[in-house]
């Protein structure tokens, strides 16, 4: 042991997670979204009745043996919905949380995305949901967050793992 983590792993992981969620849930369902730290919360975005924000923690790296790595990544997606009651679907938030849950309950390919010399677009590895008592994918409902604003929020939270040989 004694090698160091690849400094590109965080960027490749983040870019690939954004690409996966955009292509599997947000774009096909016309849900505006931003990636925390990548996109701006514009006034237009904040006025959208239904929207989402993607966040990631990690990767946490551990070299398990010489050049064999375990990466842990946490992903959470905040889903926001304006409460239109009977004027719209009263369950829009829950529907959108379900779509995000479905997109997150899968293997997520991590590709070498970017425009640097190592960014060839090839597959690095795949994130898989971690399985354990405290590792399951989960939906957390915050409900109406302010008594006068008709906004409901919830989050889909997931923990993932990936193993790499370098």
* CA distance linking residue 55 with residue 36, whole number of Å: 6
> What pLDDT score does 155 carry?
98
pLDDT digits (tens, 9 = 90+) for 6-50: 999 999 999 999 999 999 999 999 999 999 989 999 999 999 999
Strand 123-129 relative to strand 108-111, pairing: antiparallel
> 140 and 155 in contact (C-beta within 8 Å)?
yes
> What pLDDT score does 88 carry?
62
Highest-pLDDT range among 75-89, 90-104, 135-149: 90-104
> What pLDDT score does 74 carry?
97
Helix%, strand%, coil% for the chain, nearest 5: 25, 40, 35
Q: Where are the domains of the chain?
A: 9-165
- Per-residue pLDDT, averaged over 63-83, amounts to 95
- Per-residue pLDDT, averaged over 85-101, amounts to 84
Q: Which two tokens stand for residue 72?
A: 């842990």
pLDDT digits (tens, 9 = 90+) for 96-142: 999 999 999 999 999 999 999 999 999 999 999 998 877 789 999 98
* Residues 9-165, CATH architecture: 2-Layer Sandwich (3.30)
Q: How far is it between the farthest Cα atoms of the chain?
A: 61
- Select from 71, 86, 81 the least CA-distant residue to 5: 71
Task: Kindly report the pTM of this predicted structure.
Answer: 0.91
């Amino acid at each position: 042991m004694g090698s160091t983590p690849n400094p590109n792993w965080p960027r490749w992981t983040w870019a690939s997670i954004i690409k996966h969620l955009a292509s599997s849930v947000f774009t096909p369902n016309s849900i505006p979204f931003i990636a925390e730290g990548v996109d701006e919360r514009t006034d237009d975005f904040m006025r959208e009745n239904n929207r989402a924000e993607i966040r990631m923690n990690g990767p946490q790296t551990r070299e398990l043996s010489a050049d064999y790595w375990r990466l842990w990544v946490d992903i959470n997606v905040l889903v926001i919905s304006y409460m239109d009651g009977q004027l719209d679907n009263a369950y829009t938030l829950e529907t959108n949380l379900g779509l995000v849950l479905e997109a997150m309950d899968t293997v997520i390919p991590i590709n070498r995305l970017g425009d640097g010399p190592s960014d060839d677009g090839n597959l690095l590895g795949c994130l898989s949901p971690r399985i354990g008592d405290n590792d399951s994918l989960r939906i957390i409902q915050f409900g109406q967050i302010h008594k006068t604003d008709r906004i409901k929020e919830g989050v889909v939270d997931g923990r993932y793992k990936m193993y790499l040989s370098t």
